[in-house]
């Protein structure tokens, strides 16, 4: 076998850096990513900072990098002159005029921006937050800064952004840290179970389960429209519709069907749905959801609500999902098989249209795609199905099933990573635990963020969690 030269990777990186610099010399402005990295690590002469309108500026906390839509950094704390420190968001733009060019001035997601970070002075935006031009305040020449930023060190989580609890947590033996996270996870699990129980008291156990499932299918962008569709299920069930009619009702009531089908691959299927829906539309007119209620930006194809609704139509048309879930739960699958067996239980059969298309307008895939993936099945289990079984068993005073639901929750392997979890891991666990081994560990971390971080600020002011950990240790 050929051996890899020991310096190959180092040489490859050096070439990349040279190319990067060459490219940068051709452009007068640095990329926004470099500005974000400088801001995140505060590679600035921090004692000298002034905004473009001349106010002295102190950065008490740069905020947490937001990789999703909205401002680039959340939860920063800054102080203008001798005013009270302000907490809010930071938007990084290469030029000040990008604030208006990118329409941030009209986007409510940017209403909390307290400081704009730009590369250099430009045309000021009169109504926007004060701006800081980084170029004048770098703590090293820009060429060196580009080299540093191209280096992996710039990708690491800055030590001084770690939470005050990260040291006491790191000092805990791993098994005690895990036990603490599991305790916090059970608090979260039981809170979700109580919410389902409250709803079951008004609407019945099955309806409460459906609403929980629909909410989870809405992912974080479309929880509320999905909840509303689920609330309408008792009406939508009338006449026991078959699969296509269920899909027509769910997609129609959600505002996804129009008289003019898309001029694309899905036209024939959309026409078939419309053939059902136009006759029923009047009956459901009062319940119709406006199309614009759905948030579609930034959604992965698999998370599109039309696709999720089409999948739910399979469960509703089959009519046996509850029985199947009961069988799965009482069969007691071994811990290693929990996600696979639930996925098998919930996976609908091949759909003539949705197994082959991501949306009404996307081209046909070469191979069929499952309607439900493992990560969504895990979300359903952790957030809805297991809490529902737990609270229903508790209401029925069935201690064996209460314990079974709790055990399955604690045994469930880790769920898909997300931005919130990554931030929590880096801030609380100092990034040294690359991944948590179980979904319960992840849920425990989120519960700590909810109970402590959300009530404090980026500087961990007055947070009691570090002391609690020390006492626990
Ligand atoms: S606010 Fe509290 S729980 Fe959150 S990182 Fe800071 S010390 Fe830890």
Q: How confident is the model at residue 318 (pLDDT cuts 50, 70, 90)?
A: very high
286 and 402 housed in the same domain: yes
Q: How confident is the model at residue 2 (pLDDT cuts 50, 70, 90)?
A: very low
Predicted local confidence at residue 267, as pLDDT: 85
Which residues in 180-193 are b (16+ Cβ under 10 Å) and which e? bbbebbbebbbebb
Candidate of 87, 169, 427 to mutate for ligand 1, largest count of ligand atoms within 8 Å of Cβ: 427
Question: What is the Å distance from ligand 1's center to 374 Cα?
Answer: 31
223 and 107 housed in the same domain: no
Question: What is the Å distance from ligand 1's center to 455 Cα?
Answer: 9
Candidate of 64, 74, 465 to mutate for ligand 1, largest count of ligand atoms within 8 Å of Cβ: 465
> Domain for residue 441, yes or no?
no
What is the spatial distance between Cα 228 and Cα 215, in angstroms, rounded to a whole number?
A: 9
Pick the more confident residue, 75 or 5.
75
Flag whether pLDDT at 317 surpasses 90: yes
Mean pLDDT of 351-367: 91
- Last residue of a domain, which of 160, 192, 226? 160
Sign, CA dihedral 454-460-463-469, equals: positive
Question: What is the Å distance from ligand 1's center to 428 Cα?
Answer: 7
Mean pLDDT of the chain: 87
144 and 240 housed in the same domain: no
> Domain for residue 107, yes or no?
yes
Candidate of 177, 454, 460, 468 to mutate for ligand 1, largest count of ligand atoms within 8 Å of Cβ: 460
189 and 106 housed in the same domain: no
Mean pLDDT of 240-269: 87
> Domain for residue 278, yes or no?
yes
Range of the domain at 298: 175-411
217 and 362 housed in the same domain: yes
Q: What is the 3-state secondary structure (H, E, C) of the chain?
A: CCCCCCCHHHHHHHHHHHHHHHHHHHCCCCCHHHHHHHHHHCCECHHHCECCCCCEEEEEECCEECCCCCCCEEEEEEEECCCCCEEEEEEECCCCCHHHHCCHHHCHHHCCEEEEEECCCCCCCCCCCCEEEHHHHECCCHHHHHHHHHCHHHHCCCHHHCCCCHHHHHHCCHHHHHHHHHHHHHHHHHHHHHHHHHHHHHHCHHHHHHHHHHHHHCCCCCHHHHHHHHHCHHHHCCCCCCHHHHHHHHHHHCCCCCCCCCCCCCHHHHHHHHHHHHHHCCCCHHHCCCHHHCCCCCCCHHHCHHHHHHHHHHHHHHCCHHHHHHHHHHHCCCHHHHHHHHHHHHCCCCCCCCCCCCCCCCCCCCCCCCCCCHHHHHHHHHHHHHHHHHHHHHHCCCHHHHHHHHHHHHHCECCCCCHHHHHHHHHHHCCCCCCCCEHHHHHHHHHHHHHCHHHCCCCCCCCCHHHHHHHHC
Which residues does residue 138 pair with via DSSP β-bridges, in sequence order? 44
Spell out which residues line ligand 1, taking CB within 6 angstroms: 163-165, 427-428, 448, 452-453, 456, 460, 463, 465-466
Ligand 1 atom index nearest CA of 169: 8
179 and 101 housed in the same domain: no
Ligand 1 atom index nearest CA of 427: 5
pLDDT tens for residues 275-290?
A: 999 999 999 988 889 8
Q: How confident is the model at residue 305 (pLDDT cuts 50, 70, 90)?
A: very high
Predicted local confidence at residue 126, as pLDDT: 63
Measuring from atom 5 of ligand 1, which residue has the nearest CA?
163
Mean pLDDT of 385-405: 96
> Domain for residue 381, yes or no?
yes
304 and 401 housed in the same domain: yes
150 and 181 housed in the same domain: no
pLDDT tens for residues 5-41?
A: 555 545 544 554 545 444 544 557 888 888 998 998 8
117 and 200 housed in the same domain: no
Pick the more confident residue, 228 or 22.
228
pLDDT tens for residues 139-165?
A: 888 888 887 787 655 666 677 778 999
251 and 378 housed in the same domain: yes
Flag whether pLDDT at 444 surpasses 50: yes
> Domain for residue 61, yes or no?
yes
Ligand 1 atom index nearest CA of 166: 8
What is the spatial distance between Cα 389 and Cα 402, in angstroms, rounded to a whole number?
A: 8
Q: How many domains does the chain have?
A: 2
- Please say whether the beta carbons of 159 and 418 come within 8 A: no
> Domain for residue 70, yes or no?
yes
Pick the more confident residue, 302 or 208.
208
Measuring from atom 4 of ligand 1, which residue has the nearest CA?
453
74 and 213 housed in the same domain: no
Question: What is the Å distance from ligand 1's center to 161 Cα?
Answer: 11
Flag whether pLDDT at 62 surpasses 50: yes
> Domain for residue 282, yes or no?
yes
Ligand 1 atom index nearest CA of 452: 3
100 and 125 housed in the same domain: yes
Out of 90-99, 255-264, 340-349, least confident range:
255-264
Question: What is the Å distance from ligand 1's center to 176 Cα?
Answer: 18
Residue in 62, 14, 71, 69 with CA at minimum distance from that of residue 37:
62
Ligand 1 atom index nearest CA of 163: 5
> Domain for residue 167, yes or no?
no
Residue 306 structure tokens: 């039309």
Question: What is the Å distance from ligand 1's center to 166 Cα?
Answer: 8
Question: What is the Å distance from ligand 1's center to 451 Cα?
Answer: 9
Residue in 73, 111, 150, 49 with CA at minimum distance from that of residue 458:
73
Mean pLDDT of 397-416: 94
Q: How confident is the model at residue 472 (pLDDT cuts 50, 70, 90)?
A: confident
Highest mean pLDDT among 8-22, 126-140, 213-227: 213-227
Ligand 1 atom index nearest CA of 464: 2
Percent of the chain at pLDDT > 70 equals 90
Integer angstrom CA distances of residue 272 from 245, 247, 312: 9, 10, 18
Question: What is the Å distance from ligand 1's center to 75 Cα?
Answer: 13
What is the spatial distance between Cα 72 and Cα 251, in angstroms, rounded to a whole number?
A: 35
Predicted local confidence at residue 67, as pLDDT: 79
What is the spatial distance between Cα 255 and Cα 292, in angstroms, rounded to a whole number?
A: 8
- Last residue of a domain, which of 354, 376, 411? 411
Flag whether pLDDT at 116 surpasses 90: yes
Question: What is the Å distance from ligand 1's center to 172 Cα?
Answer: 16
Question: What is the Å distance from ligand 1's center to 46 Cα?
Answer: 24
Q: How confident is the model at residue 421 (pLDDT cuts 50, 70, 90)?
A: confident
- Last residue of a domain, which of 129, 160, 191? 160
Question: What is the Å distance from ligand 1's center to 454 Cα?
Answer: 9
């Amino acid at each position: 076998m050929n051996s890899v030269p020991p310096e190959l990777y180092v040489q490859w990186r050096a070439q990349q850096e040279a190319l990067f610099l060459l490219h940068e010399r051709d452009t007068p402005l640095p990329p926004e990513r470099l500005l974000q990295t400088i801001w995140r690590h505060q590679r600035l002469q921090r004692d000298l900072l002034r905004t473009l309108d001349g106010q002295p500026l102190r950065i008490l906390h740069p905020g947490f990098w937001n990789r999703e839509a909205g401002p680039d950094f959340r939860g920063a704390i800054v102080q203008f002159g001798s005013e009270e420190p302000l907490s809010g968001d930071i938007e990084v733009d290469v030029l000040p005029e990008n604030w208006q060019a990118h329409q941030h001035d009209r986007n409510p997601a940017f209403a909390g921006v307290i400081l704009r970070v730009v590369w250099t002075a430009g045309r000021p935006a009169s109504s926007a937050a004060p701006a800081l031009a980084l170029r004048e305040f770098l703590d090293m020449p820009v060429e060196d800064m580009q080299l540093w930023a191209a280096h992996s060190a710039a990708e690491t989580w800055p030590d001084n952004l770690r939470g005050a609890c990260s040291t006491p947590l790191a000092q805990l033996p791993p098994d005690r840290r895990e036990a603490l996270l599991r305790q916090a996870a059970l608090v979260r699990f039981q809170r979700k179970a109580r919410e389902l129980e409250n709803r079951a008291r008004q609407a019945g156990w099955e309806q409460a389960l459906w609403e929980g499932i629909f909410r989870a299918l809405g992912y974080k962008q479309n929880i509320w429209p999905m909840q509303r569709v689920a609330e309408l299920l008792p009406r939508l069930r009338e006449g026991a519709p078959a699969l296509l009619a269920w899909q027509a009702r769910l997609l129609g009531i959600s505002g996804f069907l129009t008289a003019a089908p898309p001029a694309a691959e899905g036209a024939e299927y959309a026409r078939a749905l419309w053939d059902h829906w136009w006759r029923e539309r009047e009956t459901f007119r009062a319940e119709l959801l406006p199309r614009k209620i759905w948030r579609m930006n930034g959604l992965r194809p698999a998370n599109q609500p039309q696709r999720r609704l089409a999948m739910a139509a399979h469960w509703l048309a089959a009519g046996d999902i509850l029985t199947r879930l009961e069988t799965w739960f009482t069969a007691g699958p071994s811990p290693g098989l929990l996600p696979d067996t639930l996925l098998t239980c919930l996976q609908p059969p091949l759909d003539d249209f949705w197994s082959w298309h991501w949306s009404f307008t996307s081209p046909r895939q070469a191979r069929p795609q499952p309607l439900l993936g493992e990560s969504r099945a895990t979300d359903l289990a952790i957030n809805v199905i297991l809490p529902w079984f737990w609270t229903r068993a508790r209401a029925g005073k069935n201690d064996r099933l209460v314990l079974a639901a709790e055990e399955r929750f604690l045994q469930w392997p880790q769920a898909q990573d997300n931005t919130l979890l990554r931030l929590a891991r880096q801030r609380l666990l100092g990034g040294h635990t690359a991944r948590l081994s179980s979904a319960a560990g992840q849920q425990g971390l989120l519960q700590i963020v909810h109970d402590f971080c959300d009530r404090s600020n980026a500087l961990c002011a007055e947070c009691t969690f570090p002391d609690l950990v020390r006492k626990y240790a």
